[in-house]
C-alpha cells in the first residue's frame, strides 16, 4: 500500500472527486496559482483550470457565502479556509446560511458544500492563529463536522464529505499535513458518523479526535508498558457522533477519559463526557475525566504553548485518577 | 435619476401594463391584510411590510425570464415572492406558520422560498445573502447558462462587508448578477444619509468596476426598463451592475416600529408618489384603463387575498415531530 | 453452625432446576467451591458449588427432583452436627431493590428463629454502621416499607460507591453497607463489589466476570415475524429427515472456469448448482412437490429459491422454471434477484411459491449443516464450503480433492427415505459428472 502524506491524501480526495463530478470545484485564497497555502491543492489548477480551481480575494465571508449560494443552486463547492482562524470571519455565512437553509426553506434547498482547512494549535503563533474551533462548529445543527487524524481517514472522510448532500466542516491540522500513512490505491469511502477504534483495549477508554489522536496513542503505549490496556476511540466525526461506539467501549471498560485540544468549557469533549455519564451511568466505575487545553488564549512562547495543551503526562495523570492508581 | 417619461404615451401594450398594475395591487392588498392579521396576532415575530415599494418587485420580475433567471432578496420579501408568482395562499400560510406554508411553517415572514419558481429566499441577516446571490451567479456562469440573478437588498445592507466582498468578486469574475438596492430612505429608524458617506449609493459600483445607476423606484415602467437594460448587459457583455432604486416605505420598518423618526407630513407627501397611483393615472390618461377595469382588478386581488387568509386559517399546524425534519438531506 | 443451602438461579432466566446428580454424598467433607451437585437449568447442566466449608449433613432434594430457586436442597454444617437445626436461608428475592437491605432485615428476624442461640459470627464483627432505625426496631415482613425508602438510607452518605458498583451490588445482592471501599475517600468500586461477591457466592462471581453483554429488548420486525412463523410452521408440521453426501466439485469448478474464461464473465457457482438441482428434480418429480393435507401436488415448473442473507433477516428469491433455462440465463436472473434483494426491492412475486430451495453457507466456512424446509417446497439442499479433503483415489492413494458436503432436508410426509436418497445420489452424480445424464 502506498505511504503518502496527509496533504496528498486530501489532494487525492479532491482530485478524484473533481474528476468524478463536474459540479465539484475548489475555491479559496491561494488555492490555484500558489497551489495552496499548505500545498493541499498542488497541481489541481494545472489540471482543472480557472473554472474549477478559483483563487479569491481575502474575503472569507464573501467567498464562503458565494460557495453556499452556488451549492444552493446545485454545485458542490469545496471552500478552503487558509486556516480556521480566518473562518471566524465567515461564521455568519456558515451558521446562518449553510446550516439553516434547508430548514428555513422547509426542505426546498440543500447545501452540499465542504468547508475545510487547518484547525487547532500549531507552533509559535500566539493566540489568533493557534486555536481549536471544533466546538463552535459542532454546536450548530445542520452542519456535519469531521476531523481526520491519519492520511487514510483524511482521504476517505473528505470524499464522503464531498458526496454528502449537506454542509460538512472538515477540521484538518497544520501539524498533520506532513504526516505519512498508508493510503490504498483503490477507491474507498469512510462514512460520516462512524468512529474508529484506533487501538483496542479493555481497561480504560480514551476518546479523542483529530491531531491529538497521535498523542493519545502514545499515552496508550506508555500505559501498555505499565500493563494497562487502554482503548483509543477516534471519533472522526464530531457531528453526528458515533454514540454506539462510545457506549460500547465504555460499557466494556467502565472508565473513560475524553481528550480534546480545544478549551474546556462547552467543548466537544465536555459534551462527550456528558454523553458517557448519561448513557453509561451505571457502567462507570470512576468519574469521567476531561483533558483539554488550558482555559487561556494560546501564548507565543513555545514552553508556555506546550504547557497550555493536552500532553501525554496529562493523559496519564487522568488515567491514574480513573483507575484509582 | 432614470425615470420613464410620464408625458409620453408608452410603447407597451395594455395587457402588459395591466399586468404590472395588478401585480402591484395584489401585493398592496396582501400586505394590508398581513398587517391586519399581525394585529390580530395571527402572524407573529418580525413582519416587514412592502407597501410603497411594490413597483420594484413587480417591475423587476417583469424584466426577467423566470425559467432561467433567479431572484433573491432580504427579509422584506412578501412582495418579491408574489411578484415571482408564488401562490398567495402558501405565502400567507407561511406567515401563519402553518404546515401548508412554502417553508412548512419553519421560515415565516422573512424566509419565503420557492425553488421551482427560482425564488431563492427571503434572508434575515442584513447583507448576508448578497454573497449567496453572487454564488448563484457563479453557478450560472460555471454551468455556461444564460441566466441572471436579481439580488435585492436595502440601503442598510450596503455598509456590510458582505456587500463589498461580493460585489468585488462579481466584478473580478464578471458574474451574471444585477444588484438592486431598494433605498427606502431608512435603515430601520435611521435616515440613510446619517450613516452613509456617499448619498448616491449607486456610486459604490465604481469601486468594483461595474456600472451604477439611480432609478425612480416608484415608477414601475422605469424599474422595468432599467432592470431590463441591466439584465441585457449581463446577457450580452457579462457585465454585472448595481442599481439604486429610490423608493419609500409607508409603514414602519417592521410591525413593531412606531415610525417616530419621520413626520406624518413626510409620509403624506411621499404617498403622492404612490407607485400604483402613478401607473394607474398614466394608464387612464393613455386611455388603456377604465375605472371599472381597475375596480375589477382590485376586486380580484382582494378576493385572492381573502382566499389566502381562508387557506391559512384552515390549514393545519405543523405536527411537533416535523420540527426534526429538514435539518439534513 | 448448620446451614441450609438453597437452589440458586444458575442462569439469568432460571426459575427452577433439576438435580441431575449429587457429586457429594451425605457425610462427605466439602470445601467452599467444591462441586456439590449438577443442576439442569433451562439452558444447560451447571455445577453447583458449595458456598461453605464443612460436611454435607443432609441432602434435601433427591436426584431427579425439580427445585424452585430459593428452596433448600441440602444442609451443610460441622461434623456431628444435626441437620434439623439448620438456619433457614433467605427466601428468593424477586424484587432486586430489596436485596441491598436484605441482610439488616435478616439480622432482625434471626433472633426469632430456632437457631437463635447461634448468633451469626459476622454479627460479632463491627459492621459499618447499619442504619440505626433498621437494626433497632423489629419489623414484621409485611410492614416492609416501600422499596425506595429502603434503599435510600444506604445511598445517603453511609457509603460512596461508583454507579457500576451500585449496579453490580444490586444485581448480585450485595449489601454495600458491608463493603469496604478501596477508592478515594473510601469509594466502593467494581472490584470491591466483586471481591465481596466472590466471598459469598462463587457462582455469582463467575457470572459477573463474564463480560459486558447488555440486556435489551429488540422489537420484532414484520419480516422477522414472517421468517419465524414460516420456519416454525415448517419445522413443526413437516417431519424432517436429513441425507448427507460428499460430492466432488472439481469438474464443476473446471467447467465454470472454462465458461467464465470464454465469456469473460463471472457466472456464479450457485447458477451451476441450481441448474444441476433442476435437472435432477426433473428426474424425481416427488421432490418437486407440495404436501396439501388431502393431496400431493407435483409441479410442472421447477422454481428454485436461493437463500440470501440480509441484515434484517433471511429471504429466498426464486428463479422460475429452471428446468427450461440454461446456466447463463439462470445466472443472469439470479444476479438480478440478488441485486434486488440488496436494494430491498423484492416483491412477493420474487420470493413466493418456490418448489425447492438451495441454501449455502460455504462462504462462512461452514462445512456442512442442515436446513429447515422452505414451504411450499418439500426439500431443501444445504451446501457446505467447497474444501479440499483427503480421499483415496482409484489406486488407493491418498489425495486431496475439492469437495462439498451436501445435506438434503426432506418432508417425510411425501418424500420417503429412498426417494430422497435416489435424488441426492443423482444430484451428486450430476455435479461430479455433468455429462453422464445426457448419455
Q: What is the CATH number of the domain that holds A69?
A: 3.40.50.970
Q: Which of A182, A211, A244 is the last residue of a domain?
A: A182
Spatial distance between the Cα atoms of A103 and A297, rounded to a whole number of angstroms: 35
Binning chain A into helix, strand and coil, the percentages to the nearest 5 are 40, 20, 40
Which is the catalytic residue, given A16, A30, A61, A129?
A129
Is it the case that residue C153 has pLDDT exceeding 70? no
- Region C329-353: mean pLDDT is 88
Higher per-residue pLDDT: C151 or C284: C284
Spatial distance between the Cα atoms of C269 and B322, rounded to a whole number of angstroms: 49
Same domain, A175 and A256: no
Q: Do chains C and B touch (3 or more CB pairs under 8 A)?
A: no
Average pLDDT, chain C: 79
Q: Which residues of chain A does C214 touch, with a Cβ-Cβ cutoff of 8 Å?
A: 251
Residue A37 lies in a domain: yes
ipTM comes to: 0.94
- DSSP-assigned letters across all residues of C363-402: GGT---------TT-SEEEEE---EEEEEE-TTS-EEEEE
- Region C56-71: mean pLDDT is 88
The answer to whether C151 faces chain A, any CB pair under 8 Å, is no
What is the model's pLDDT at position C180?
87
* CATH number for the domain harbouring residue B57: 3.40.50.970
Spatial distance between the Cα atoms of A111 and A104, rounded to a whole number of angstroms: 12
**Of A105, A161, A193, A239, which to mutate for an interface test with B (greatest number of B Cβ within 10 Å)?**
A105
What is the model's pLDDT at position C87?
55
Is it the case that residue B89 has pLDDT exceeding 90? yes
> Which positions of chain A have pLDDT values less than 70?
none
The confidence band for B301, taking pLDDT boundaries of 50, 70 and 90, is very high
What is the model's pLDDT at position C131?
39
Chain C: closest CA distance from residue A321 (Å): 9
Same domain, A41 and A171: yes
Higher per-residue pLDDT: C257 or C92: C257
Range of the domain at B36: 14-313
The B residues from 289 to 308 touching A (CB cutoff 8 Å) are none
The B residues from 212 to 271 touching A (CB cutoff 8 Å) are none
Q: Which residues of chain B does A105 touch, with a Cβ-Cβ cutoff of 8 Å?
A: 102-103, 107, 111, 113, 115, 121, 326
Q: Which of A138, A160, A182 is the last residue of a domain?
A: A182
Same domain, A149 and A219: no
Q: Determine, for residues A93 and B128 on separate chains, whether the beta-carbon distance falls below 8 Å.
A: yes
What is the model's pLDDT at position A39?
96
Residue of A nearest to B168 (CA): A57
The C residues from 197 to 216 touching A (CB cutoff 8 Å) are 212, 214
What is the model's pLDDT at position A192?
98
* CATH number for the domain harbouring residue A252: 3.40.50.920
The confidence band for B260, taking pLDDT boundaries of 50, 70 and 90, is confident
Tell me the catalytic residues of C: 412, 416
Q: Determine, for residues B169 and A93 on separate chains, whether the beta-carbon distance falls below 8 Å.
A: no
What is the model's pLDDT at position B285?
94
Same domain, A95 and A224: no
Residue B100 lies in a domain: yes
Segment among A110-124, B188-202, C133-147, C368-382 with least mean pLDDT: C133-147
Q: Which residues of chain A does C167 touch, with a Cβ-Cβ cutoff of 8 Å?
A: 282-283
Segment among A5-9, B304-308, C48-52, C165-169 with least mean pLDDT: C48-52
Q: Under 8 Å CB-to-CB from C22, ≥6 apart: which residues?
A: C36, C37, C59, C63
Residue A187 lies in a domain: no
Residue B220 lies in a domain: yes
The answer to whether A252 faces chain C, any CB pair under 8 Å, is yes
In this structure, are residues C245 and C406 in contact, taking their beta carbons and an 8 Å threshold? yes
Catalytic (active site) residue A80? no
Same domain, A167 and A214: no
By CB neighbour count within 10 A (0-12 exposed, 13-18 middle, 19+ buried), where does C417 fall? exposed
Spatial distance between the Cα atoms of B154 and B123, rounded to a whole number of angstroms: 12
Chain A: closest CA distance from residue B24 (Å): 25
Range of the domain at A232: 196-322
Residue of A nearest to B175 (CA): A66
The confidence band for C271, taking pLDDT boundaries of 50, 70 and 90, is very high
Same domain, A12 and A117: yes
Chain B: closest CA distance from residue A181 (Å): 32
- Region C309-338: mean pLDDT is 90
Segment among A72-86, C43-57, C246-260, C422-436 with least mean pLDDT: C43-57
The answer to whether A284 faces chain C, any CB pair under 8 Å, is yes
Same domain, A289 and A147: no
Residue A209 lies in a domain: yes
Tally of structural domains, chain A: 2
The confidence band for C113, taking pLDDT boundaries of 50, 70 and 90, is very low
Q: Determine, for residues B135 and A96 on separate chains, whether the beta-carbon distance falls below 8 Å.
A: no
Spatial distance between the Cα atoms of B224 and B277, rounded to a whole number of angstroms: 17
The confidence band for C130, taking pLDDT boundaries of 50, 70 and 90, is very low
Q: Which residues of chain A does C166 touch, with a Cβ-Cβ cutoff of 8 Å?
A: 282
In this structure, are residues A257 and A318 in contact, taking their beta carbons and an 8 Å threshold? yes
Domains and CATH numbers, chain C: 1-92 (2.40.50.100), 94-210 (no CATH), 222-438 (3.30.559.10)
Same domain, A8 and A156: yes
**Model confidence over C190-209: pLDDT tens digits?**
999 988 887 765 554 454 44
What is the model's pLDDT at position C137?
41
Residue B20 lies in a domain: yes
Q: Which of A182, A210, A229 is the last residue of a domain?
A: A182
Residue B52 lies in a domain: yes
Segment among A17-31, A91-105, B65-79, C362-376 with least mean pLDDT: C362-376
The answer to whether B142 faces chain A, any CB pair under 8 Å, is yes
Residue B7 lies in a domain: no
What is the model's pLDDT at position C94?
46
**Model confidence over C11-34: pLDDT tens digits?**
667 788 889 899 999 889 888 778
Same domain, A105 and A230: no
- Region C37-46: mean pLDDT is 80
Is it the case that residue C42 has pLDDT exceeding 80? no
What is the model's pLDDT at position C123?
39
Is it the case that residue B272 has pLDDT exceeding 70? yes
Tally of structural domains, chain B: 1
Residue B5 lies in a domain: no
Residue A189 lies in a domain: no
Backbone angles phi, psi at C386, to 5 degrees: -75, 115
Residue of C nearest to A278 (CA): C163
Is it the case that residue C140 has pLDDT exceeding 70? no
Residue A190 lies in a domain: no
What is the model's pLDDT at position C213?
73
Nearest Cα to C267, choosing from C357, C356, C362, C333? C333
**Model confidence over C81-105: pLDDT tens digits?**
776 655 554 444 444 343 443 444 4
Residue of B nearest to A100 (CA): B327
Residue A282 lies in a domain: yes
Nearest to A284 among C162, C184, C191 (CB): C162
- Region B64-76: mean pLDDT is 97
Same domain, A178 and A38: yes
Spatial distance between the Cα atoms of B308 and B312, rounded to a whole number of angstroms: 6
Spatial distance between the Cα atoms of C261 and C271, rounded to a whole number of angstroms: 16
The SS3 call for residue A160 is helix
Q: Which residues of chain B does A115 touch, with a Cβ-Cβ cutoff of 8 Å?
A: none
The confidence band for C146, taking pLDDT boundaries of 50, 70 and 90, is very low
The answer to whether C185 faces chain A, any CB pair under 8 Å, is no
Is it the case that residue C6 has pLDDT exceeding 90? no
Residue A73 lies in a domain: yes
C-alpha cell belonging to residue C339: 441485486
- Interface A-B, measured as beta-carbon pairs within 8 A, has a size of 152
What percentage of chain A has pLDDT greater than the value 70?
Answer: 100
The answer to whether B179 faces chain A, any CB pair under 8 Å, is no
Chain B: closest CA distance from residue A139 (Å): 14
Segment among B248-257, B315-324, C106-115, C297-306 with least mean pLDDT: C106-115
Same domain, A110 and A221: no
Chain B: closest CA distance from residue A137 (Å): 15
Chain B: closest CA distance from residue A72 (Å): 7
Same domain, A28 and A176: yes
Nearest to A324 among C163, C166, C189 (CB): C189
Nearest to C163 among A251, A281, A324 (CB): A281
Average pLDDT, chain B: 95
Amino acid at each position: 500500500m502506498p505511504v503518502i502524506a496527509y496533504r496528498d491524501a486530501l489532494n487525492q480526495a479532491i482530485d478524484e472527486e473533481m474528476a468524478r463530478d463536474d459540479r465539484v470545484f475548489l475555491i479559496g485564497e491561494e488555492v490555484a496559482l500558489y497551489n495552496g497555502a499548505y500545498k493541499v491543492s498542488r497541481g489541481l489548477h494545472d489540471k482543472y483550470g480557472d473554472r474549477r480551481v478559483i483563487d479569491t480575494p481575502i474575503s472569507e465571508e464573501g467567498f464562503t457565502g458565494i460557495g453556499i449560494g452556488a451549492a444552493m443552486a446545485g454545485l458542490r463547492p469545496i471552500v478552503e479556509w487558509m486556516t480556521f482562524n480566518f473562518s471566524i470571519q465567515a461564521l455568519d455565512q456558515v451558521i446562518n446560511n449553510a446550516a439553516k437553509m434547508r430548514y428555513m426553506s422547509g426542505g426546498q434547498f440543500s447545501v452540499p458544500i465542504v468547508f475545510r482547512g487547518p484547525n487547532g494549535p500549531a507552533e509559535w503563533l500566539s493566540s489568533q492563529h493557534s486555536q481549536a474551533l471544533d466546538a463552535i462548529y459542532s454546536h450548530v445543527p445542520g452542519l456535519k463536522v469531521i476531523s481526520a487524524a491519519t492520511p487514510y481517514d483524511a482521504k476517505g472522510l473528505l470524499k464522503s464529505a464531498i458526496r454528502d448532500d449537506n454542509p460538512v466542516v472538515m477540521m484538518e491540522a497544520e501539524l498533520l499535513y506532513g504526516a505519512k500513512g498508508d493510503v490504498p490505491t483503490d477507491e474507498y469511502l469512510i462514512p460520516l458518523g462512524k468512529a474508529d477504534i484506533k487501538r483496542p483495549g479493555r481497561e480504560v477508554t480514551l476518546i479523542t479526535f483529530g491531531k491529538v489522536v497521535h498523542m493519545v496513542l502514545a499515552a496508550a503505549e506508555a500505559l501498555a508498558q505499565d500493563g494497562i490496556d487502554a482503548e483509543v476511540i477516534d471519533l472522526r466525526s464530531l457531528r453526528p457522533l458515533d454514540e454506539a461506539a462510545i457506549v460500547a467501549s465504555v460499557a466494556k471498560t467502565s472508565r473513560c477519559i475524553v481528550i480534546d485540544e480545544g478549551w474546556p468549557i462547552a467543548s466537544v469533549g465536555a459534551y462527550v463526557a456528558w454523553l458517557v455519564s448519561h448513557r453509561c451511568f451505571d457502567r462507570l466505575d470512576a468519574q469521567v475525566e476531561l483533558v483539554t487545553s488550558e482555559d487561556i488564549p494560546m501564548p507565543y512562547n513555545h514552553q508556555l504553548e506546550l504547557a497550555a495543551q493536552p500532553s501525554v503526562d496529562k493523559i496519564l495523570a487522568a488515567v491514574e485518577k480513573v483507575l484509582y492508581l | 435619476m432614470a425615470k420613464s417619461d410620464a408625458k409620453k404615451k408608452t410603447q407597451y401594450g395594455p395587457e402588459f401594463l395591466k399586468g404590472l398594475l395588478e401585480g402591484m395591487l395584489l401585493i398592496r392588498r396582501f400586505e394590508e391584510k398581513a398587517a391586519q392579521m399581525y394585529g390580530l396576532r395571527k402572524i407573529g415575530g418580525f413582519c416587514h411590510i412592502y407597501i410603497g415599494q411594490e413597483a420594484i418587485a413587480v417591475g423587476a420580475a417583469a424584466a426577467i425570464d423566470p425559467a432561467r433567471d433567479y431572484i433573491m432578496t432580504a427579509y422584506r420579501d412578501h412582495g418579491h415572492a408574489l411578484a415571482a408568482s408564488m401562490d398567495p395562499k402558501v405565502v400567507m400560510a407561511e406567515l401563519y406558520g402553518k404546515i401548508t406554508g412554502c417553508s412548512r411553517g419553519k421560515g415565516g415572514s422573512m424566509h419565503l422560498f420557492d425553488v421551482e419558481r427560482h425564488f431563492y429566499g427571503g434572508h434575515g441577516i442584513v447583507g448576508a445573502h448578497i454573497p449567496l446571490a453572487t454564488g448563484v451567479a457563479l453557478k450560472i456562469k460555471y454551468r455556461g447558462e444564460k441566466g441572471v440573478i436579481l439580488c435585492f437588498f436595502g440601503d442598510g445592507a450596503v455598509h456590510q462587508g458582505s456587500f463589498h466582498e461580493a460585489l468585488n468578486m462579481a466584478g473580478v469574475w464578471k458574474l451574471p448578477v444585477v444588484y438592486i438596492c431598494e433605498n427606502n430612505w431608512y435603515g430601520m429608524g435611521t435616515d440613510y444619509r446619517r450613516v452613509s458617506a456617499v448619498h448616491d449609493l449607486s456610486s459604490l459600483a465604481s469601486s468594483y468596476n461595474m456600472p451604477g445607476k439611480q432609478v425612480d423606484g416608484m415608477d414601475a415602467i422605469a424599474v422595468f426598463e432599467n432592470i431590463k437594460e441591466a439584465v441585457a448587459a449581463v446577457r450580452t457583455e457579462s457585465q454585472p451592475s448595481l442599481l439604486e432604486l429610490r423608493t419609500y416605505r409607508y409603514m414602519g420598518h417592521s410591525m413593531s416600529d412606531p415610525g417616530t423618526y419621520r413626520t406624518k407630513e413626510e409620509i403624506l407627501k411621499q404617498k403622492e408618489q404612490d407607485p400604483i397611483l402613478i401607473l394607474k393615472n398614466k394608464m387612464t390618461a393613455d386611455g388603456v384603463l377604465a375605472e371599472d377595469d381597475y375596480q375589477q382588478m382590485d376586486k380580484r386581488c382582494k378576493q385572492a387575498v381573502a382566499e389566502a387568509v381562508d387557506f391559512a386559517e384552515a390549514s393545519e399546524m405543523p405536527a411537533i415531530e416535523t420540527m426534526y425534519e429538514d435539518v439534513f438531506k | 453452625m448448620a446451614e441450609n443451602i438453597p437452589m440458586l438461579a444458575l442462569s439469568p432466566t432460571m426459575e427452577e432446576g433439576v438435580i441431575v446428580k449429587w457429586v457429594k454424598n451425605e457425610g462427605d467433607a466439602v470445601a467452599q467451591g467444591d462441586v456439590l451437585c449438577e443442576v439442569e437449568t433451562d439452558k444447560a447442566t451447571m455445577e453447583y458449588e458449595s458456598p461453605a466449608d464443612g460436611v454435607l449433613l443432609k441432602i434435601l432434594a433427591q436426584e431427579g427432583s425439580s427445585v424452585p430457586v430459593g428452596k433448600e436442597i441440602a444442609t451443610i454444617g460441622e461434623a456431628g452436627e444435626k441437620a434439623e437445626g439448620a438456619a433457614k436461608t433467605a427466601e428468593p428475592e424477586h424484587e432486586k431493590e430489596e436485596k441491598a437491605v436484605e441482610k439488616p432485615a435478616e439480622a432482625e428476624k434471626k433472633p426469632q428463629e430456632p437457631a437463635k442461640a447461634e448468633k451469626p459470627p459476622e454479627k460479632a464483627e463491627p459492621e459499618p454502621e447499619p442504619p440505626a432505625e433498621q437494626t433497632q426496631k423489629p419489623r414484621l415482613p409485611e410492614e416492609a416499607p416501600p422499596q425506595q425508602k429502603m434503599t435510600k438510607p444506604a445511598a445517603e452518605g453511609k457509603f460512596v460507591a461508583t454507579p457500576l458498583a451500585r449496579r453490580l451490588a444490586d444485581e448480585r445482592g450485595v449489601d454495600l453497607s458491608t463493603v469496604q471501599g478501596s477508592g478515594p475517600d473510601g469509594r466502593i468500586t467494581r472490584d470491591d463489589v466483586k471481591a465481596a461477591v466472590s466471598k459469598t457466592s462463587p457462582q455469582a462471581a463467575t457470572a459477573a466476570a463474564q463480560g459486558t453483554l447488555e440486556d435489551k429488548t429488540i422489537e420484532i420486525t414484520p419480516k422477522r415475524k414472517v421468517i419465524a412463523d414460516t420456519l416454525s410452521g415448517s419445522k413443526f408440521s413437516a417431519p424432517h429427515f436429513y441425507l448427507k453426501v460428499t460430492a466432488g466439485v472439481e469438474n464443476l469448478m473446471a467447467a465454470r472456469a472454462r465458461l467464465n474464461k470464454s465469456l469473460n464473465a463471472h457466472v456464479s457457482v450457485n447458477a451451476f448448482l441450481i441448474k444441476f438441482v433442476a435437472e435432477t428434480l426433473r428426474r424425481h418429480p416427488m421432490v418437486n412437490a407440495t404436501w396439501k393435507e388431502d393431496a400431493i401436488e407435483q409441479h410442472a415448473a421447477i422454481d428454485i429459491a436461493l437463500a440470501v442473507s440480509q441484515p434484517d433477516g433471511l429471504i429466498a428469491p426464486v428463479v422460475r422454471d429452471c428446468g427450461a433455462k440454461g446456466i447463463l440465463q439462470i445466472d443472469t436472473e439470479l444476479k438480478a434477484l440478488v441485486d434486488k434483494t440488496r436494494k430491498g426491492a423484492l416483491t412477493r412475486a420474487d420470493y413466493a411459491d418456490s418448489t425447492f430451495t438451495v441454501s449455502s453457507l460455504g462462504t462462512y466456512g461452514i462445512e456442512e449443516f442442515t436446513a429447515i424446509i422452505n414451504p411450499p417446497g418439500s426439500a431443501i439442499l444445504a451446501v457446505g464450503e467447497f474444501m479440499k479433503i483427503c480421499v483415496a483415489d482409484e489406486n488407493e492413494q491418498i489425495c486431496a480433492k475439492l469437495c462439498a458436503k451436501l445435506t438434503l432436508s426432506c418432508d417425510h410426509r411425501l418424500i420417503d427415505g429412498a426417494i430422497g436418497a435416489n435424488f441426492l445420489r443423482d444430484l451428486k452424480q450430476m455435479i461430479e459428472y455433468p455429462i453422464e445424464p445426457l448419455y
